[in-house]
Protein backbone atom coordinates (compact mmCIF):
# COMPACT_ATOMS: atom_id res chain seq x y z
CA UNK A 1 0.00 0.00 0.00
CA UNK A 2 1.23 3.50 -0.84
CA UNK A 3 -0.08 6.97 -0.08
CA UNK A 4 -1.16 8.82 -3.22
CA UNK A 5 -2.10 12.51 -3.50
CA UNK A 6 -4.62 13.18 -6.28
CA UNK A 7 -4.77 16.81 -7.36
CA UNK A 8 -8.18 17.67 -8.80
CA UNK A 9 -9.38 14.50 -7.10
CA UNK A 10 -12.95 15.80 -6.69
CA UNK A 11 -13.38 16.47 -10.42
CA UNK A 12 -14.86 14.28 -13.14
CA UNK A 13 -11.76 12.23 -13.97
CA UNK A 14 -10.06 12.83 -10.63
CA UNK A 15 -12.90 11.32 -8.62
CA UNK A 16 -12.86 8.18 -10.81
CA UNK A 17 -9.10 7.90 -10.33
CA UNK A 18 -9.50 8.41 -6.58
CA UNK A 19 -12.12 5.65 -6.38
CA UNK A 20 -9.92 3.26 -8.37
CA UNK A 21 -6.92 3.94 -6.12
CA UNK A 22 -9.01 3.30 -3.02
CA UNK A 23 -10.31 0.06 -4.51
CA UNK A 24 -6.67 -0.99 -5.06
CA UNK A 25 -6.03 -0.46 -1.32
CA UNK A 26 -3.94 2.70 -1.61
CA UNK A 27 -4.17 5.46 0.97
CA UNK A 28 -5.48 8.51 -0.90
CA UNK A 29 -5.46 12.22 -0.15
CA UNK A 30 -7.14 14.78 -2.41
CA UNK A 31 -6.23 18.39 -3.16
CA UNK A 32 -8.95 20.26 -5.04
CA UNK A 33 -9.74 23.96 -5.39
CA UNK A 34 -13.42 23.42 -6.35
CA UNK A 35 -12.87 25.76 -9.32
CA UNK A 36 -16.25 27.07 -10.57
CA UNK A 37 -15.42 26.01 -14.13
CA UNK A 38 -15.63 22.38 -12.98
CA UNK A 39 -18.01 22.57 -10.02
CA UNK A 40 -21.40 24.29 -9.94
CA UNK A 41 -21.97 22.74 -6.51
CA UNK A 42 -19.60 21.83 -3.65
CA UNK A 43 -17.70 18.74 -4.78
CA UNK A 44 -17.90 15.38 -3.09
CA UNK A 45 -15.09 12.86 -2.79
CA UNK A 46 -15.42 9.10 -2.36
CA UNK A 47 -15.68 7.61 1.11
CA UNK A 48 -12.31 6.47 2.39
CA UNK A 49 -10.23 9.49 1.36
CA UNK A 50 -7.64 10.04 4.09
CA UNK A 51 -7.42 13.84 3.79
CA UNK A 52 -9.23 16.45 1.68
CA UNK A 53 -7.28 19.67 1.10
CA UNK A 54 -9.49 22.46 -0.25
CA UNK A 55 -6.82 24.68 -1.77
CA UNK A 56 -5.55 26.18 -4.99
CA UNK A 57 -2.55 24.36 -6.43
CA UNK A 58 -0.76 27.71 -6.66
CA UNK A 59 -0.79 27.96 -2.82
CA UNK A 60 2.70 26.64 -2.09
CA UNK A 61 2.18 26.24 1.66
CA UNK A 62 -1.02 24.24 1.09
CA UNK A 63 0.70 22.00 -1.44
CA UNK A 64 3.62 21.41 0.88
CA UNK A 65 1.20 20.40 3.62
CA UNK A 66 -0.71 18.07 1.29
CA UNK A 67 2.53 16.27 0.35
CA UNK A 68 3.41 15.17 3.89
CA UNK A 69 3.67 11.39 4.00
CA UNK A 70 2.89 11.04 0.29
CA UNK A 71 4.70 8.49 -1.93
CA UNK A 72 3.38 9.57 -5.35
CA UNK A 73 1.17 12.22 -6.98
CA UNK A 74 -1.52 11.76 -9.62
CA UNK A 75 -1.91 15.24 -11.08
CA UNK A 76 -5.40 15.70 -12.55
CA UNK A 77 -6.01 19.35 -11.60
CA UNK A 78 -6.38 21.62 -14.63
CA UNK A 79 -8.63 24.14 -16.28
CA UNK A 80 -9.82 22.30 -19.39
CA UNK A 81 -11.56 23.16 -22.67
CA UNK A 82 -10.40 25.09 -25.69
CA UNK A 83 -10.38 28.50 -24.02
CA UNK A 84 -12.03 31.38 -25.81
CA UNK A 85 -8.79 33.03 -26.89
CA UNK A 86 -6.01 35.33 -25.71
CA UNK A 87 -8.10 36.80 -22.88
CA UNK A 88 -8.12 33.32 -21.28
CA UNK A 89 -4.33 33.03 -21.23
CA UNK A 90 -3.69 34.30 -17.67
CA UNK A 91 -6.22 31.97 -16.03
CA UNK A 92 -5.23 28.91 -18.08
CA UNK A 93 -1.50 29.47 -17.63
CA UNK A 94 -1.98 30.25 -13.94
CA UNK A 95 -4.08 27.17 -13.16
CA UNK A 96 -2.30 24.71 -15.41
CA UNK A 97 1.33 25.77 -15.74
CA UNK A 98 2.05 27.84 -12.65
CA UNK A 99 0.07 25.31 -10.59
CA UNK A 100 2.17 22.48 -12.01
CA UNK A 101 5.39 24.39 -11.37
CA UNK A 102 4.44 24.95 -7.72
CA UNK A 103 3.57 21.25 -7.36
CA UNK A 104 6.86 20.09 -8.89
CA UNK A 105 8.92 22.44 -6.71
CA UNK A 106 7.13 21.22 -3.60
CA UNK A 107 7.59 17.58 -4.63
CA UNK A 108 11.32 18.17 -5.10
CA UNK A 109 11.54 19.65 -1.59
CA UNK A 110 9.48 16.80 -0.09
CA UNK A 111 11.43 14.06 -1.83
CA UNK A 112 8.39 12.74 -3.72
CA UNK A 113 9.76 11.32 -6.96
CA UNK A 114 6.81 9.71 -8.74
CA UNK A 115 4.19 11.60 -10.77
CA UNK A 116 1.36 10.66 -13.12
CA UNK A 117 0.37 13.70 -15.21
CA UNK A 118 -3.01 14.11 -16.87
CA UNK A 119 -2.00 15.37 -20.31
CA UNK A 120 -4.13 15.43 -23.45
CA UNK A 121 -4.25 14.52 -27.10
CA UNK A 122 -4.54 18.27 -27.80
CA UNK A 123 -0.73 18.50 -27.59
CA UNK A 124 -0.62 17.02 -31.12
CA UNK A 125 -2.84 19.67 -32.70
CA UNK A 126 -3.99 18.05 -35.89
CA UNK A 127 -3.45 14.31 -35.93
CA UNK A 128 -1.34 12.38 -38.41
CA UNK A 129 -2.11 12.53 -42.13
CA UNK A 130 -0.85 10.96 -45.31
CA UNK A 131 -0.85 12.30 -48.86
CA UNK A 132 -0.98 9.71 -51.63
CA UNK A 133 1.79 11.59 -53.44
CA UNK A 134 3.92 13.05 -50.63
CA UNK A 135 3.52 10.48 -47.85
CA UNK A 136 3.24 11.63 -44.21
CA UNK A 137 2.55 15.37 -43.98
CA UNK A 138 1.58 17.97 -41.38
CA UNK A 139 -1.36 20.19 -42.41
CA UNK A 140 -1.07 23.93 -42.04
CA UNK A 141 -3.23 25.69 -39.42
CA UNK A 142 -6.87 25.71 -40.44
CA UNK A 143 -7.98 28.51 -42.76
CA UNK A 144 -10.97 30.50 -41.42
CA UNK A 145 -12.18 31.35 -44.92
CA UNK A 146 -12.05 27.72 -46.00
CA UNK A 147 -13.90 26.60 -42.87
CA UNK A 148 -16.57 29.25 -43.43
CA UNK A 149 -17.00 27.90 -46.96
CA UNK A 150 -17.47 24.36 -45.64
CA UNK A 151 -14.01 23.07 -46.59
CA UNK A 152 -13.31 21.15 -43.40
CA UNK A 153 -10.78 18.55 -44.54
CA UNK A 154 -7.15 19.76 -44.39
CA UNK A 155 -5.37 19.70 -47.77
CA UNK A 156 -1.83 18.54 -48.41
CA UNK A 157 0.46 21.53 -47.74
CA UNK A 158 2.60 20.54 -50.75
CA UNK A 159 0.04 19.82 -53.49
CA UNK A 160 -3.39 20.66 -52.07
CA UNK A 161 -4.70 17.12 -52.54
CA UNK A 162 -7.02 15.41 -50.07
CA UNK A 163 -5.35 13.69 -47.13
CA UNK A 164 -6.09 10.42 -45.33
CA UNK A 165 -6.04 10.49 -41.50
CA UNK A 166 -3.53 8.14 -39.86
CA UNK A 167 -2.74 7.01 -36.31
CA UNK A 168 -0.84 9.48 -34.16
CA UNK A 169 1.76 7.97 -31.83
CA UNK A 170 3.66 9.46 -28.91
CA UNK A 171 6.66 10.41 -31.06
CA UNK A 172 4.52 12.71 -33.23
CA UNK A 173 5.48 16.39 -33.01
CA UNK A 174 3.61 18.69 -30.66
CA UNK A 175 1.62 21.42 -32.39
CA UNK A 176 -0.79 23.09 -29.92
CA UNK A 177 -3.67 24.98 -31.56
CA UNK A 178 -5.56 26.38 -28.55
CA UNK A 179 -4.80 28.07 -25.25
CA UNK A 180 -5.52 24.85 -23.37
CA UNK A 181 -3.30 22.83 -25.70
CA UNK A 182 -0.40 25.24 -25.21
CA UNK A 183 -0.65 24.86 -21.43
CA UNK A 184 -0.64 21.06 -21.71
CA UNK A 185 2.54 21.16 -23.82
CA UNK A 186 4.13 23.41 -21.19
CA UNK A 187 3.07 21.01 -18.41
CA UNK A 188 4.77 18.13 -20.20
CA UNK A 189 7.98 20.12 -20.70
CA UNK A 190 8.07 21.17 -17.04
CA UNK A 191 7.54 17.59 -15.90
CA UNK A 192 10.21 16.22 -18.25
CA UNK A 193 12.70 18.78 -16.92
CA UNK A 194 11.75 17.91 -13.31
CA UNK A 195 12.18 14.18 -13.98
CA UNK A 196 15.68 14.71 -15.38
CA UNK A 197 16.85 17.03 -12.63
CA UNK A 198 15.37 15.04 -9.74
CA UNK A 199 15.94 11.52 -11.04
CA UNK A 200 12.17 11.04 -10.90
CA UNK A 201 9.52 9.05 -12.76
CA UNK A 202 6.78 10.75 -14.79
CA UNK A 203 4.04 9.12 -16.85
CA UNK A 204 2.26 11.72 -19.01
CA UNK A 205 -1.11 10.26 -19.98
CA UNK A 206 -2.38 11.90 -23.16
CA UNK A 207 -6.10 11.39 -22.71
CA UNK A 208 -8.19 11.30 -25.81
CA UNK A 209 -11.90 12.21 -25.55
CA UNK A 210 -12.90 11.08 -22.05
CA UNK A 211 -16.58 10.53 -21.26
CA UNK A 212 -18.68 8.78 -18.66
CA UNK A 213 -20.91 9.22 -15.61
CA UNK A 214 -20.29 12.34 -13.57
CA UNK A 215 -19.29 14.65 -16.41
CA UNK A 216 -20.21 18.27 -15.60
CA UNK A 217 -23.31 19.52 -17.38
CA UNK A 218 -24.05 22.89 -19.01
CA UNK A 219 -20.54 24.31 -19.08
CA UNK A 220 -18.28 25.31 -22.01
CA UNK A 221 -15.49 23.43 -20.23
CA UNK A 222 -17.28 20.09 -20.66
CA UNK A 223 -16.31 17.60 -23.32
CA UNK A 224 -18.50 17.32 -26.39
CA UNK A 225 -20.15 14.14 -25.09
CA UNK A 226 -21.44 15.98 -22.01
CA UNK A 227 -22.58 18.96 -24.09
CA UNK A 228 -24.62 16.66 -26.35
CA UNK A 229 -25.93 14.75 -23.35
CA UNK A 230 -27.04 17.99 -21.64
CA UNK A 231 -28.88 19.07 -24.79
CA UNK A 232 -30.79 15.79 -24.93
CA UNK A 233 -31.71 16.06 -21.24
CA UNK A 234 -33.23 19.47 -21.99
CA UNK A 235 -35.17 18.17 -25.00
CA UNK A 236 -32.88 19.90 -27.53
CA UNK A 237 -31.14 18.35 -30.51
CA UNK A 238 -27.35 18.01 -30.15
CA UNK A 239 -25.64 20.66 -32.26
CA UNK A 240 -22.88 19.01 -34.30
CA UNK A 241 -20.20 21.34 -35.63
CA UNK A 242 -18.70 21.19 -39.11
CA UNK A 243 -20.17 18.21 -41.02
CA UNK A 244 -19.96 15.72 -38.17
CA UNK A 245 -17.26 13.66 -39.89
CA UNK A 246 -14.48 14.68 -37.47
CA UNK A 247 -12.79 11.53 -36.18
CA UNK A 248 -12.05 11.19 -32.46
CA UNK A 249 -11.26 8.43 -30.00
CA UNK A 250 -13.77 8.32 -27.12
CA UNK A 251 -12.40 6.58 -24.03
CA UNK A 252 -14.46 5.74 -20.94
CA UNK A 253 -13.52 7.32 -17.62
CA UNK A 254 -13.19 3.92 -15.92
CA UNK A 255 -10.54 2.99 -18.48
CA UNK A 256 -8.75 6.28 -17.84
CA UNK A 257 -8.75 5.51 -14.11
CA UNK A 258 -7.28 2.07 -14.79
CA UNK A 259 -4.55 3.66 -16.92
CA UNK A 260 -3.60 5.93 -14.02
CA UNK A 261 -3.15 2.94 -11.72
CA UNK A 262 -0.99 1.18 -14.30
CA UNK A 263 1.12 4.32 -14.81
CA UNK A 264 2.25 4.35 -11.18
CA UNK A 265 4.73 1.61 -12.05
CA UNK A 266 6.80 3.38 -14.75
CA UNK A 267 10.56 3.64 -14.33
CA UNK A 268 12.59 6.82 -13.95
CA UNK A 269 12.41 9.41 -16.69
CA UNK A 270 9.59 10.98 -18.70
CA UNK A 271 7.19 8.60 -20.46
CA UNK A 272 4.24 9.82 -22.61
CA UNK A 273 1.33 7.52 -23.43
CA UNK A 274 -1.81 7.79 -25.53
CA UNK A 275 -4.81 6.75 -23.43
CA UNK A 276 -7.50 5.83 -25.93
CA UNK A 277 -9.99 3.14 -26.84
CA UNK A 278 -8.32 2.35 -30.15
CA UNK A 279 -11.77 2.47 -31.80
CA UNK A 280 -12.21 5.81 -33.64
CA UNK A 281 -15.70 7.29 -33.98
CA UNK A 282 -16.94 10.38 -35.78
CA UNK A 283 -18.49 13.15 -33.73
CA UNK A 284 -21.68 12.75 -35.76
CA UNK A 285 -21.83 9.02 -35.03
CA UNK A 286 -21.29 9.69 -31.33
CA UNK A 287 -24.10 12.27 -31.25
CA UNK A 288 -26.45 9.90 -33.09
CA UNK A 289 -25.63 7.04 -30.71
CA UNK A 290 -26.41 9.22 -27.68
CA UNK A 291 -29.65 10.53 -29.20
CA UNK A 292 -30.81 7.04 -30.14
CA UNK A 293 -30.06 5.57 -26.69
CA UNK A 294 -31.59 8.55 -24.88
CA UNK A 295 -34.67 8.63 -27.10
CA UNK A 296 -34.23 12.32 -27.81
CA UNK A 297 -34.12 14.56 -30.88
CA UNK A 298 -31.79 13.59 -33.70
CA UNK A 299 -28.57 15.63 -33.96
CA UNK A 300 -28.47 18.72 -36.15
CA UNK A 301 -25.36 19.20 -38.28
CA UNK A 302 -24.77 22.95 -38.19
CA UNK A 303 -21.69 23.64 -40.31
CA UNK A 304 -20.46 25.95 -37.56
CA UNK A 305 -16.83 25.67 -36.49
CA UNK A 306 -14.32 26.76 -33.87
CA UNK A 307 -10.91 27.77 -35.13
CA UNK A 308 -9.16 26.05 -32.20
CA UNK A 309 -10.71 22.68 -33.09
CA UNK A 310 -8.83 20.11 -35.15
CA UNK A 311 -10.26 17.85 -37.82
CA UNK A 312 -9.10 14.31 -37.05
CA UNK A 313 -7.11 12.77 -34.19
CA UNK A 314 -6.77 8.98 -34.22
CA UNK A 315 -4.64 7.43 -31.50
CA UNK A 316 -2.24 4.53 -31.52
CA UNK A 317 -2.71 2.81 -28.13
CA UNK A 318 0.17 0.38 -28.65
CA UNK A 319 2.81 1.96 -26.39
CA UNK A 320 0.46 1.97 -23.40
CA UNK A 321 -0.37 -1.68 -24.11
CA UNK A 322 3.27 -2.71 -24.41
CA UNK A 323 4.74 -0.72 -21.51
CA UNK A 324 1.84 -0.33 -19.07
CA UNK A 325 -0.17 -3.43 -19.93
CA UNK A 326 -3.14 -1.10 -20.47
CA UNK A 327 -5.86 -1.60 -23.04
CA UNK A 328 -9.27 0.04 -22.81
CA UNK A 329 -11.97 -2.42 -21.79
CA UNK A 330 -15.13 -0.43 -22.62
CA UNK A 331 -16.04 -0.29 -26.35
CA UNK A 332 -17.40 3.15 -27.32
CA UNK A 333 -20.64 1.59 -28.60
CA UNK A 334 -21.31 0.11 -25.16
CA UNK A 335 -20.04 3.02 -23.11
CA UNK A 336 -21.92 5.70 -25.07
CA UNK A 337 -25.17 3.74 -24.84
CA UNK A 338 -24.79 3.60 -21.04
CA UNK A 339 -23.65 7.23 -20.83
CA UNK A 340 -26.81 8.40 -22.60
CA UNK A 341 -28.80 7.83 -19.39
CA UNK A 342 -26.03 8.22 -16.80
CA UNK A 343 -26.15 11.01 -14.20
CA UNK A 344 -24.23 14.21 -14.90
CA UNK A 345 -22.52 16.41 -12.35
CA UNK A 346 -24.40 19.54 -11.32
Q: Which of 184, 168, 188, 166 is nearest to 176 (CA)?
A: 184
Residues in the chain: 346
Neighbours of 111 (CB within 10 A): 11
Neighbours of 162 (CB within 10 A): 11
CA dist 128 and 164 (Å) reads 9
- Angle (CA) 149-82-285 rounded to 5° is 60
- CA 135 remoteness from chain centre: 29
**204 φ/ψ sector (left φ>0, alpha ψ -120 to 50, else beta):** beta
Supply the residues annotated as catalytic: 180
Handedness of CA 158, 163, 165, 167 (dihedral sign): negative
CA dist 3 and 70 (Å) reads 5
CA dist 327 and 298 (Å) reads 32
Amino acid sequence: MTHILVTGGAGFIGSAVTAALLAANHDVSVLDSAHPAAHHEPPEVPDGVALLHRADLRDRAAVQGALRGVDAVVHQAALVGLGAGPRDLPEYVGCNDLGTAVLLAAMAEAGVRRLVLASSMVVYGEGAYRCERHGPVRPAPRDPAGLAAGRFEPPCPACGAALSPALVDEDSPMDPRSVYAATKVAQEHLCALWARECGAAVAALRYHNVYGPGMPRDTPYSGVAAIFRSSLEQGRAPQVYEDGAQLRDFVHVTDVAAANLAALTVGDGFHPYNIASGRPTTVGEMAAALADAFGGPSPEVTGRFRLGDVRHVLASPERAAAELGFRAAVPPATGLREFACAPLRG
